[in-house]
Amino acid sequence: NTDQMKPFIGPPTSTGTDGLCAYAEQLDSPGCQEPATVHVIVRDSGWGDVALASCARHRGLAHLAGGIVLDEHPYGAACMQPTDTP
């Protein structure tokens, strides 16, 4: 019997501001390194409103990490959202 851990939002990092997906399997693991395609804005019970830079493959995990999904829009410099990791 393998328990699946719910995705969570870790402490803020500079990852994601570089145009890459901020997903990391563990807090001390390197990030995904794929280009971010979306910003998923979530309301997390611990961190408040957080913008998660995500690639298409990790988009679903970004949705699961936050309690409430407030918005999702294409990733890009024009959106000016602060970014955090899932």
Q: Give all strands (DSSP E) within the chain, no chain letters.
A: 38-44, 48-54, 68-74
CA distance 68 to 59: 14
Coil, strand or helix: which one is 33?
coil
Rounded to 5 degrees, what are φ and ψ at 60? -60, -35
Q: Model-level pTM? A: 0.76
Contact 48, 54 (CB under 8 A): no
pLDDT by residue for the chain (86 residues), tens digit each? 345 556 778 777 665 567 888 888 888 888 888 999 999 999 988 888 988 889 999 999 999 887 799 999 998 866 655 544 44
Which run of H or E residues covers position 44? strand 38-44
CA distance 77 to 26: 27
